[in-house]
Amino acid sequence: MRRLPAIAGVVSCVVLATGLHAQGLFESAGEDSLAPGTATERAKPFSLNGYVKGSLCGGQDNGNDAVVSAASAQVSLKLGAEKAGIGKAFAEVRLNAGKVREADPITCDLREAWAAVSPGPFDIKLGRQIISWGRADAVNPTNNITPRDQTALSSEFDDTRLGNELLQVRAKLGIAGIQGIWVPCYRPDVLPLAGAQIPAGISLGEAVYPDVRFKNGGYALRLELTHPAVDGSVSYFNGYATLPGFDFSLGANGLSLLPHAYRQHVAGADFSTTIGSFGLRGEAALKYPYDDYEKCVYVPNPCAQYVLGIDKSIGNWTILLQYSGRAVIDYEKIEEPVLTLPPDSLALVLYQYARASAEVRRLNRLFTGASDRAGHALTGNVQWNTLHETLHLKLAGMYDFTTGDYALDPSVAYDIADAITLTVGGRYVDGPAEEVNSMVSNLLSFVYTEFKVSF
């Protein structure tokens, strides 16, 4: 009996790694908060700002009954301090309360907290940071440092990003710049498995993540060029993928799934430019794992990912389209194990292990978008700003030509006054049966109302 649908129900949230199914489609990856021109860079010697936000979200449970997915409140406090030409510091603290799915959390989240000094042409920053690489939108193959929580019930794509402790060094060399990053501690993407309904015969084992040793740290380098005609960069990352794969074990109580981190090389490049009145941007990365992907079920095959996007503004309209693809290297179909006849006890044990290995390998491929040798998808965003730039109507969407998965993300935002915004919208994901979006449709689909006051 095939266990794939049951196993998929346990770890359905892993779909979020693909990036094609995320909320906030076509939100730019942007730069980290130390980049010139950010709010922190322009800050006074001391600054305090933030926002207060109330949210109400509705969706469906596993029985397709309408439920209140979230009724929550959030306070964000952002503190900045700067000594001109010497150094700066920044911190953001978020206080959360209310109901989120089945939990009633009251949490204090230190989202970022770092200090930086600027000796000569260098900027050195240490602490909890959020760094986003790449110039494409929604899908960023070179962005492998910042973990994410795309189960966040929010209208803002930035809310999916998670901070991590980093050491960052940047140097400006004319029109070029070089950036080095060390990641001493591993922080994975959020896998909300605690509330999952686990079928009989399947359990969740302890995750296998790297401990805090020097050899387990990750590092990254990026060389960036800024020119009036084109901006671009080349980068390299050596470290653990923020989204772990799944290993397994078989015992007397059945199958146990084990989240297992794996290390990888990632070589990437990106660019952005303009051609006439059109904006053009692209990004590509080659990912190659350290461990033997033929023997380890939790390690994905090497792959190449690429993105090409175009945008155009026409009056109050903004239109963006982006094509993305993935090519799996050394792709081979998963062979179904065969039980030798007549079966003896050893042959039966080997057969059960081979069946479990094939199903878990198939599951990992499904959730990393590697079920086929090649995959292609299209994302898009149309936005209309009207009523003197106070009313913002947006429709974003995604369609995967390979799997048939799709997502829709409409929203309406109204600026009631300066720094006071009401946003109403929703997200709906679905697809063919036994494909990723169908399995997570109820988990990731919701409607929302948000009221936000900034200060």
Residue 380 reports pLDDT greater than 80? yes
Domain with residue 255: its CATH number is 2.40.160
Q: What is the pLDDT of residues 261-299, one digit of tens each?
A: 999 999 999 999 999 999 999 999 999 999 999 999 999
- The mean pLDDT of 169-194, rounded to a whole number, is 88
27-31's contacts with Cβ under 8 Å and 24+ in sequence apart are 27/137, 27/138, 27/157, 27/158, 28/135, 28/137, 29/132, 29/133, 29/134, 29/135, 29/136, 29/137, 29/140, 29/143, 30/132, 31/132
Residue 15 reports pLDDT greater than 60? no
Q: Can you tell me the distance from the alpha carbon of 196 to that of 85, in angstroms, rounded to the nearest whole number? A: 51
Beta-carbon contacts of residue 164 (< 8 Å; ≥ 6 apart): 128, 129, 130, 145, 146, 147, 183, 185, 187
Q: Which helix (H) or strand (E) holds 281?
A: strand 278-289
Residue 119, preceding bond cis, omega within 30 degrees?
Answer: no
Token pair, residue 244, equals 């772990």
Asked if the structure places residue 186 within a domain, the reply is yes
Q: What is the pLDDT of residues 325-378, one digit of tens each?
A: 999 999 999 888 888 777 777 888 888 888 888 888 988 888 788 889 999 999
Mean model confidence pLDDT for the chain: 86
* CA separation, residue 269 to residues 8, 91, 303 (Å): 33, 30, 15
Residue 14 reports pLDDT greater than 60? no
Q: Which helix (H) or strand (E) holds 59?
A: strand 46-60
Helix, strand, coil in percent for the chain, rounding step 5: 10, 50, 40
Asked if the structure places residue 95 within a domain, the reply is no
- What pLDDT is recorded for position 390? 96
**Which amino acid does the sequence have at 289?**
P
Q: Which of 7, 153, 14 is nearest to 73 (CA)?
A: 153
**Which amino acid does the sequence have at 353?**
Y
Residue keyed to tokens 């901006």: 231
Count Cβ atoms below 10 Å from residue 333 Cβ, excluding itself: 7
Read off the pLDDT band of 155 (50, 70, 90): confident
Three-class SS of residue 158? Answer: helix
- What pLDDT is recorded for position 18? 41
- What pLDDT is recorded for position 437? 77
Asked if the structure places residue 252 within a domain, the reply is yes
Read off the pLDDT band of 204 (50, 70, 90): confident
Asked if the structure places residue 41 within a domain, the reply is no
Asked if the structure places residue 63 within a domain, the reply is no
Whether the Cβ atoms of residue 300 and residue 368 lie closer than 8 Å to each other: yes
Number of separate domains in the chain: 1
Read off the pLDDT band of 135 (50, 70, 90): confident
Residue 9 reports pLDDT greater than 80? no
Token pair, residue 378, equals 């299209």
218 burial class (0-12, 13-18, 19+ CB within 10 angstroms)?
buried
Residue keyed to tokens 């990004």: 283
Whether the Cβ atoms of residue 357 and residue 248 lie closer than 8 Å to each other: yes
Whether the Cβ atoms of residue 57 and residue 73 lie closer than 8 Å to each other: no
Q: Are strands 254-260 and 202-204 parallel, antiparallel or unpaired?
A: parallel
- The mean pLDDT of 253-262, rounded to a whole number, is 88
Q: Can you tell me the distance from the alpha carbon of 443 to that of 57, in angstroms, rounded to the nearest whole number? A: 12
Q: Can you tell me the distance from the alpha carbon of 146 to that of 133, in angstroms, rounded to the nearest whole number? A: 9
- Nearest-5° angle of CA 280, CA 283, CA 287? 170
Token pair, residue 164, equals 């991590």
Asked if the structure places residue 454 within a domain, the reply is no
- What pLDDT is recorded for position 157? 79
Residue 219 reports pLDDT greater than 80? yes
Where is pLDDT greater, at 197 or 181?
181
Asked if the structure places residue 100 within a domain, the reply is no
- The mean pLDDT of 86-107, rounded to a whole number, is 88
Q: Can you tell me the distance from the alpha carbon of 311 to that of 322, in angstroms, rounded to the nearest whole number? A: 9
- What pLDDT is recorded for position 193? 61
How many CA atoms does the CB half-sphere of 275 hold within 13 Å?
A: 7
Domain of residue 121: give its range: 4-26+109-409+423-442
211 burial class (0-12, 13-18, 19+ CB within 10 angstroms)?
exposed
Q: What is the pLDDT of residues 387-408, one digit of tens each?
A: 999 999 999 999 999 989 999 9
Count Cβ atoms below 10 Å from residue 194 Cβ, excluding itself: 8
Where is pLDDT greater, at 132 or 168?
168
Asked if the structure places residue 434 within a domain, the reply is yes
